[in-house]
């Protein structure tokens, strides 16, 4: 597990660095004057996508906490199943907010440049952190030592995984000698997730939204430049590499099926991946979260720059990648162990989008990215 952990964290540290952009002129690479209203784009992103997504995430986390409370107050399989369902519903919404590592989300943890993701979805899980924490109660979820010992992966283990000498997942909370410690760890994880998301959401709704929309300048600190970089970085690492490339063995000498997302509830790995792909495509098209309307977007920005061909191509590549994912087993762990070729084909389809986003779209927008990020993207 230590070797896998090092591979994963190294890739995340490299690929998830928030990219820096250079100043651009009024004329894009094609020579066409860029008159696109970035303020309208940013307003749509903030008001119709980011804030509603974080609001829904908070609703789902609150429901998760209610299910947790019901379970710890009456520990039985029915309540554990309800807790599992709430975990999955929150995890699906997480796929829509993970790409927004900006503002307070970015500042929550700067030790490895990936901000709030550090506390929500670093996998594979370091199981020893959870078990030792349950054993002695000596843990600090605010430190980098516990980045891979909390969030959704830790809840996955607590709800669905087996602790030492346990025959079923519920035994962690009933017959295990550390049962009270597992209850405390479960409670502390959910509490921290709610607190962190509250901090991020409140920041958006109480000041940051206005400064974000007003910051229309084309520079490395401009809101469009930063969100484009975050978006591409998330797509390349959070979606393509973490969900597909690392487990399928694209970055190692052999497949690593134990690194799939939701390892202890493996039959939802495809569902989470498809949600993530929908999230990035909806964002590209400016689709309102939980709505049907489309506002200003990267797609409309490309069209304004006479690059409707690229906008169409990117959407077609998203669709092609989805087709490759849809034929996979619901359980990526099984898929890798039985027919990994299909998994690598899905990765390859996702990689084709990276080229269009990271090279073609960013060039059209005249936004550059950090050299280290470019050198490690697999293009």
Query: The CATH number of the domain where 110 resides is what?
Result: 1.20.1420.20
- Give the residues across from 294 on adjacent strands: 287
**For residue 266, what is the DSSP state?**
G
Tell me, yes or no, whether 378 lies in a domain.
no
For residue 85, give the nearest of 160, 2, 5 by alpha carbon: 160
Backbone angles phi, psi at 294, to 5 degrees: -115, 130
CA–CA dist 169, 163 (Å, integer): 7
CA–CA dist 311, 360 (Å, integer): 10
The total number of structural domains that make up the chain: 1
CA distances from 100 to 220, 231, 344 (A): 16, 7, 27
CB 231 within 8 A of CB 354: no
Dihedral angle over CA of 205, 207, 210, 215, nearest 10: -130
Tell me, yes or no, whether 337 lies in a domain.
yes
CA–CA dist 94, 97 (Å, integer): 5
CA–CA dist 62, 202 (Å, integer): 15
Tell me, yes or no, whether 142 lies in a domain.
yes
Tell me, yes or no, whether 355 lies in a domain.
yes
List the chain pLDDT tens, one digit each, 379 residues.
Answer: 444 544 444 454 444 433 333 333 344 455 567 889 999 999 999 999 999 999 999 999 999 999 999 999 999 999 999 999 999 999 999 999 999 999 999 988 666 567 899 999 999 999 999 999 999 999 999 999 999 999 999 999 999 999 988 999 999 999 999 999 999 999 999 999 999 999 999 999 999 999 999 999 988 889 999 999 999 999 999 999 999 999 999 999 999 999 999 999 999 999 999 999 999 999 999 999 988 899 999 999 999 999 999 999 999 999 999 999 999 999 999 999 999 999 999 999 999 999 999 999 999 999 988 544 444 444 4
Tell me, yes or no, whether 375 lies in a domain.
no
Tell me, yes or no, whether 379 lies in a domain.
no
- Give the residues across from 287 on adjacent strands: 294
Tell me, yes or no, whether 242 lies in a domain.
yes
Q: What integer pLDDT is reported at residue 315 of this predicted model?
A: 98
Backbone angles phi, psi at 27, to 5 degrees: -95, 130
Tell me which residue range forms the domain holding 353.
2-369
Tell me, yes or no, whether 374 lies in a domain.
no
Prediction pTM value:
0.91
Residues in the chain, total = 379
């Amino acid at each position: 597990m230590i070797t896998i952990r090092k591979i994963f964290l190294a890739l995340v540290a490299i690929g998830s660095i928030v990219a820096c952009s250079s100043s651009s002129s009024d004329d894009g690479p094609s020579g066409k004057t860029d008159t696109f209203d970035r303020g309208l784009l940013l307003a749509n992103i903030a008001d119709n996508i980011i804030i509603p997504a974080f609001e829904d995430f908070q609703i789902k986390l609150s429901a998760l906490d209610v299910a947790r409370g019901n379970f710890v107050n009456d520990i039985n399989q029915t309540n554990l199943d309800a807790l599992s369902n709430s975990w999955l519903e929150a995890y699906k919404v997480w796929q829509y907010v993970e790409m927004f590592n900006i503002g307070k989300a970015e500042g929550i943890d700067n030790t490895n440049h990936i901000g709030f993701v550090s506390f929500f979805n670093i996998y594979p899980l370091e199981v020893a952190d959870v078990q030792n924490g349950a054993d002695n109660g000596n843990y600090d979820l605010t430190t980098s030592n516990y980045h891979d010992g909390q969030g959704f992966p830790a809840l996955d283990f607590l709800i669905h995984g087996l602790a030492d000498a346990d025959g079923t997942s519920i035994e962690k909370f009933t017959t295990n000698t550390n049962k009270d410690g597992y209850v405390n760890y479960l409670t502390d994880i959910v509490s921290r997730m709610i607190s962190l998301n509250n901090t991020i959401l409140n920041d958006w709704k109480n000041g940051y939204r206005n400064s974000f929309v007003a910051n229309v300048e084309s520079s490395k600190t401009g809101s469009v430049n930063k969100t484009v970089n975050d978006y591409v970085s998330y797509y390349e690492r959070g979606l393509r590499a973490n969900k597909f490339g690392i487990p399928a063995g694209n970055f190692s000498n052999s497949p690593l099926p134990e690194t799939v997302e939701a390892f202890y509830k493996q039959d939802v790995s495809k569902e989470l991946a498809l949600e993530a792909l929908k999230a990035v495509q909806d964002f590209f098209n400016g689709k309102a979260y939980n709505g049907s309307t489309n506002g200003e977007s990267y797609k409309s920005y490309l069209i304004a720059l006479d690059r409707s061909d690229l906008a169409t191509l990117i959407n077609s590549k998203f669709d092609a990648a989805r087709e490759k994912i849809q034929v996979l087993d619901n359980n990526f762990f099984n898929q890798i162990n039985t027919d990994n070729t299909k998994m690598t084909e899905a990765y390859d389809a996702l990689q084709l989008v990276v080229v269009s986003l990271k090279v073609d779209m960013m060039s059209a927008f005249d936004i550059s990215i950090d050299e280290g990020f470019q050198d490690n993207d697999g293009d």
